[in-house]
Amino acid sequence: MAEHPEGAGDAPGGLIGSPETIRGKLAQFEASNVDQVILLNQTGRTSHADICSSLELFAREVMPEFHAREPEHQRWKADVLAGKIALENLDTDGFKVYAHQNEDIVRLTPEQLKQKMAAKEAEKTS
C-alpha cells in the first residue's frame, strides 16, 4: 500500500493506492457487508522492507477506522445468521467470470487453464 500516483487505485480488482484510496475502496466493500479481504503484498519484486512498510502503513492509517465499527458489524452478522435479518437476493453472476479457477487450478496445467479461461470469456461475450 505504498503511495502511488493519482488514479492508481482505479485497478478493478486491486486495492492499490494511498491510505485514503484504500479506505474508500474498503468502505465500498463494507457497505456491501463484505467483512473479509485478503491482502497480497508480496507480489512481484517487492522487497521485504517495502512489504513491511506497506503493512505498517495499512495498520496505522486504515485499520483503525474499520476496527472501530467491528462490534456493530458482528451484531449485524449474528442477526443475519440467526435469521433475524433477511438479505436481499442479489444477482452475482457478473462476478463469477473466473469462478472455475479455484477448482481447476490444482489439476490443470497453466496452458489448459488459460484455454479454459479464454473459452469462458468467449462464451460470455457471444
Q: What pLDDT is recorded for position 24?
A: 92
87 in Cβ contact with 95 (< 8 Å): no
Per-residue pLDDT band at 96 (split at 50, 70, 90): low
- What does the alpha-carbon distance between residue 62 and residue 57 come to, in Å, rounded to a whole number? 8
Q: Do residues 73 and 96 both lie within one domain?
A: no
Q: Do residues 110 and 68 both lie within one domain?
A: no
Q: Do residues 60 and 122 both lie within one domain?
A: no
Range of the domain at 36: 1-88
Q: Do residues 49 and 110 both lie within one domain?
A: no
100 in Cβ contact with 116 (< 8 Å): yes
Concatenated DSSP letters for 22-38? HHHHHHHHHHTT-----
Nearest Cα neighbor of 32 from 72, 90, 79 is: 90
Q: What pLDDT is recorded for position 7?
A: 42
The stretch 100-108 carries a mean pLDDT of 57
The amino acid occupying position 32 is S
Phi first, then psi, for residue 40 (nearest 5°) are: -115, 90
Q: Do residues 44 and 84 both lie within one domain?
A: yes
pLDDT in tens, 34-85: 888 888 787 778 889 999 999 999 999 999 999 999 999 999 999 999 999 9
pLDDT in tens, 17-28: 899 999 999 999
- Run of H or E residues at 49: helix 48-61
How many structural domains compose the chain?
Answer: 2
Q: What pLDDT is recorded for position 60?
A: 96
Q: Do residues 47 and 96 both lie within one domain?
A: no
Q: Do residues 83 and 101 both lie within one domain?
A: no
